[in-house]
């Protein structure tokens, strides 16, 4: 059996779709699983052990931009947009199924799968599409995400170059797609200072976008002038390797949080306009901090308690220094 998975973007959404490939792999061990993905996020799928072939696809104006070579028995649209539905339809697969949240007319091209009542998280809802396709009942979610050895070596060298300890590293992501998903810079600065005082290397991550660069600059200006950063210095595969090496991750509703969850790395989540029950780092809702009024109401001391517990500190260990004020 040949099966095509279509999830083109974005970073976190591609990560959340990986368990669909594992569902198919468990149900049909000898299946050939092909994944069509935007070239920017291909590194995620390249690190998934459940996928056999990665096809970089950037839909445009030509018919050929929506076609994946080969014949397929099943095609799954895990994105629910017109472009992903067109790729799924162009596969000419005998069975075509899609994610239930469809937009831009995708429902006219691909029938959707209603998720199980118990599937509250987006990861489970996406996995339900694959379960319906191969007749696999609900089962344990597996991301099958694993960094490449060469990327681990590259990241270790980059950490040493910025005087960060690869064995005592905590990654922080101050950026996010929307400004409303960003924790105040002073709060991130307080966390970075507390980690440094406790002997940990706090390393900021993110992409090369000006908004991400500005977010870290704001953190430095807010009281963490010596913060270490690999912002814009890692490929997607190296980002996965970096998070795999880290002892914990702190960030909002953004792609790196989902990478941490997929790797089993403790992920402290910061949420306000999105509900953690649906979009938190999968399996780590107890490490999430949520305030529907605004992220600025989530205090650094509360986040630090969760973070230090994830790092193995007991309740008797005091968090270094006072960090609860946003004016810190």
Q: Is 56 contained in some domain?
A: yes
Q: Is 319 contained in some domain?
A: no
Q: Is 322 contained in some domain?
A: no
Are 279 and 219 contained in the same domain?
A: yes
Are 62 and 29 contained in the same domain?
A: yes
CA distance 304 to 308: 6
Q: Is 326 contained in some domain?
A: no
Quote the pTM value.
0.94
Are 158 and 227 contained in the same domain?
A: yes
Are 154 and 300 contained in the same domain?
A: yes
pLDDT at 147: 98
pLDDT at 109: 97
Are 305 and 163 contained in the same domain?
A: yes
The CATH number given to whatever domain includes residue 171 is 3.40.50.2000
What range defines the domain where residue 179 resides? 150-310
Are 129 and 172 contained in the same domain?
A: no
Q: Is 185 contained in some domain?
A: yes
Q: Is 324 contained in some domain?
A: no
Are 167 and 249 contained in the same domain?
A: yes
What does residue 60 show for φ and ψ, rounded to 5 degrees?
-135, -135
**Distance, CA of 2 to chain centre:** 26
Are 209 and 276 contained in the same domain?
A: yes
Q: Is 139 contained in some domain?
A: no
Are 115 and 155 contained in the same domain?
A: no
Are 13 and 105 contained in the same domain?
A: yes
Q: pLDDT digit of tens for each residue in the chain (328 aa)?
A: 999 999 999 999 999 999 999 999 999 999 999 999 999 999 999 999 999 999 999 999 898 899 999 999 999 999 999 999 999 999 999 999 999 999 999 999 999 999 999 999 999 999 999 999 999 887 789 999 999 999 999 999 999 999 999 999 999 999 876 677 889 999 999 999 999 999 999 999 998 888 888 889 999 999 998 889 999 999 999 999 999 999 999 999 999 999 999 999 999 999 999 999 999 999 999 999 999 999 999 999 999 999 999 999 976 554 555 554 433 3
- Residue found by looking up tokens 């953004």 in the block: 254
pLDDT at 290: 97
Are 160 and 303 contained in the same domain?
A: yes
Q: Is 317 contained in some domain?
A: no
Structure tokens that stand for 41 in this block: 């996020």
pLDDT at 207: 86
Are 171 and 299 contained in the same domain?
A: yes
């Amino acid at each position: 059996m040949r099966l095509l998975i279509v999830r083109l973007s974005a970073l976190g959404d591609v990560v959340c779709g990986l368990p669909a490939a594992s569902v198919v792999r468990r149900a049909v061990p000898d299946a050939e699983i092909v994944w069509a993905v935007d070239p920017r996020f291909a590194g995620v799928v390249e690190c998934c052990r459940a996928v056999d072939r990665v096809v970089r696809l950037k839909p445009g104006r030509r018919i050929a931009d929506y076609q994946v070579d080969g014949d397929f028995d099943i095609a799954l649209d895990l994105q629910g947009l017109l472009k992903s539905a067109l790729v799924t339809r162009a596969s000419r697969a005998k069975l075509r199924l899609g994610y239930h949240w469809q937009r831009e007319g995708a429902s006219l091209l691909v029938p959707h799968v209603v998720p199980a009542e118990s599937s509250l998280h987006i990861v489970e809802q996406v996995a339900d599409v694959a379960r319906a396709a191969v007749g696999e009942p609900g089962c344990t979610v597996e991301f099958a995400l694993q960094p490449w050895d060469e990327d681990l070596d590259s990241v270790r060298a980059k950490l040493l170059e910025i005087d960060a300890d690869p064995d005592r590293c905590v990654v922080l992501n101050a950026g996010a797609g929307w400004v409303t998903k960003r924790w105040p810079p002073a709060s991130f600065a307080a966390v970075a200072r507390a980690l440094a005082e406790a002997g940990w290397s706090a390393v900021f991550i993110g992409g090369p976008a000006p908004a991400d660069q500005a977010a870290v600059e704001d953190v430095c200006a807010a009281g963490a002038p010596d913060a270490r950063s690999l912002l814009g210095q890692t490929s997607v595969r190296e980002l996965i390797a970096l998070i795999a090496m880290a002892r914990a991750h702190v960030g909002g509703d953004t792609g790196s949080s989902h990478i941490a969850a997929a790797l089993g790395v403790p992920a402290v989540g910061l949420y306000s306009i999105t509900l953690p029950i649906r979009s938190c780092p999968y399996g780590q809702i107890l490490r999430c901090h949520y305030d529907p009024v605004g992220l600025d109401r989530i205090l650094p001391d509360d986040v630090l308690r969760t973070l230090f517990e994830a790092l193995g500190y007991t309740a008797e260990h005091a968090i270094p220094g006072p960090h609860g004020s946003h004016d810190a």
